[in-house]
Amino acid sequence: MLIKNIQTSESVGYGHPDKICDQIADLILDTCLKQDKNSRVACEVFAGNKKIIVGGEITTKGYVDVVKVAWKVLKFLGYNENDFTITSCINKQSPDIAAKVNLNNKLGAGDQGLVYGYACNETKQFLPLATVLSHEILKKTCNLIKVKKLTGIKYDMKSQVSIDYSGKKPIVDSVILSVQHNKNINLNKLRAKLDKTVINPILNDFSLNTNCQKYINYGGTFVLGGPEADTGLTGRKIIVDTYGSSVPHGGGAFSGKDATKVDRTGAYFARYIAKNIVAADLAKKVLVQLSFCIGKPTPTSISINTFNTCNVSEDKIKDAVVKSFNFDLANIIKTLNLTKPIFSQTSVFGHFGKNNLPWEKTNKVKVLRDNIYGRKRK
């Protein structure tokens, strides 16, 4: 019996209850940053049972009506004022935390913890194939809804893709797609249409097999969705937000947090480093781990794992990374433009692989190569 080597990733759509919460939290953050780039935001959102509760700590010179911001997200998804009661439970940032972050005019980490960044040469996004496919399937589904080529479908949806690496080249083992739909829709017709207009075109775009196992609304009827069907919370889709089953996670969520929260900023910087290592052809895949201590401006540790795919030693790569990147938190924030209101675009379909985001730049490739091979090497 052949034991398959399977890697799996999933994605969830705009209308998933957890993602509704992430979108509200990040839009609140961006609204604060538009008015005050030094805003301190740690925003959490709960959604369920016709209630949405916005909590956490915000200190800003600007003003944000969190209820109004929440409705911007909800109305896009088709909800109206009768669907939810929204309550704000916002406090200011703890003075103890604020004192440690702004220590002696030096910006320190807002918490302790460890983060991971990953990149590989498997896709043009420098992400695992299953991760890219699961997001692309939902992006296409949502786009077809927007242009009204798919009707009777709502934005609460989930996808999951499993890739088999047992052979010489990866093949798709299975695809799962579940979408919320109107009550009177014909499920068999819906399944056939999603297969024809979404799944097969995406797999063809990647030159992959379409004769895989497909489970489309396999559980049957999916009429009741969103926070009416399931409770939503910020930060509950941390693997969806990152790299799928391929990569470990430090446990810290991203959405609703300003740049002093290193579980977000550190993860972005680790991804920035990892992507540049792979883009510089120093390794086929790499995992970068950083750890932080509250109040300390720089990481307490840096580790690099290339899974035996490196073209030079890991010690040389780490030495080049330390020389090529400034790990001071204030510099990380400046380098990645993290005081700008750019976070709403990360709330759905992953925080990585979107080329317009600053941590996706590969502008350190030459510096890394120079620090390894010398400046005279072409």
Whose tokens are 């997200």? That residue is: 73
227-256 pLDDT, tens digit each: 999 999 999 999 999 999 889 999 999 999
Domains and CATH numbers, the chain: 113-121+261-373 (3.30.300.10), 129-226 (3.30.300.10)
**296 - beta bridge partners?**
none
pTM for the predicted model, two decimal places:
0.95
Model confidence at 310, pLDDT cuts 50, 70, 90, reads: very high
In terms of Cα–Cα distance, which of 245, 346, 333, 325 is closest to 277?
325
Residue 181 sits at φ, ψ, to 5 deg, of -145, 165
176-225 pLDDT, tens digit each: 999 999 999 999 999 999 999 999 999 999 999 999 999 999 999 999 99
55-98 pLDDT, tens digit each: 999 999 999 999 999 999 999 999 999 999 999 999 887 666 66
39-57 pLDDT, tens digit each: 999 999 999 989 999 999 9
Residues in the chain: 378
Q: Give the rounded percent of residues in the chain with a pLDDT score beyond 90.
A: 89
Model confidence at 161, pLDDT cuts 50, 70, 90, reads: very high
DSSP sequence for 307-320: TT-BSS-HHHHHHH
In terms of Cα–Cα distance, which of 260, 257, 247, 259 is closest to 288?
247
Residue 156 in this model has a pLDDT that exceeds 50: yes
Task: Give the integer Cα–Cα distance in Å for 260 and 290.
Answer: 15
Residue 71 sits at φ, ψ, to 5 deg, of -65, -30
Half-sphere CA count of 189, side-chain side, radius 13 A: 8
Please tell me the predicted confidence (pLDDT) of residue 246. Answer: 84
Q: Which residues contact 147 (CB under 8 A, 6 or more apart)?
A: none
User: Which residue type, as a one-letter code, is found at position 155?
Assistant: Y
